[in-house]
Homo-oligomer: A and B are copies of this chain.
């Protein structure tokens, strides 16, 4: 082959090698990841599971190491969840406001900023704002194979105002 042909061949080989390298899956070491404030969309609490205006701000997902997800949940005055159970339980950390929670068959209980609730697996409960004040809590919800809540009937006005 001429020198020119050799050069063309060598250039082709280098290009092919580069392509092969680029197609290999990136094997990156595990690294710390920061999700900046303002980059995760809020979710409106669906009317099938909530009464009134409820906003969910997702914080952290369950993963291979940690079997619970976390989110801020903000209930406008009068808003509340439907009755429900958690197959792997749930912690609530009240971060602002004042509201209510109730376990099936038991009296209403008041919640205010700084209170922490543990709801064991399978215990039927609801939680939400008080009639005239908003409530925000972080929900730390156990996750079993992607399943973290079993929704039941909604909390009617009479039940909500029963205290």
> Contact residues of A with B, CB < 8 Å?
30-38, 40, 59-60, 63, 65-68, 70, 88-89, 91, 93-95, 101, 103, 106, 109, 111-123, 125, 138, 140, 142
Contact = CB atoms under 8 A, between A and B. Distances in A.
Contact of A123 (B30, B36, B106): B30
Query: How many monomers of this chain does the complex have?
Result: 2
A113 B57 CA distance: 14
A67 B70 contact: no
B66 A32 contact: no
Contact of A60 (B33, B93, B113, B114): B93
A123 B31 contact: yes
A66 B67 contact: yes
A96 B127 CA distance: 25
A100 B144 CA distance: 34
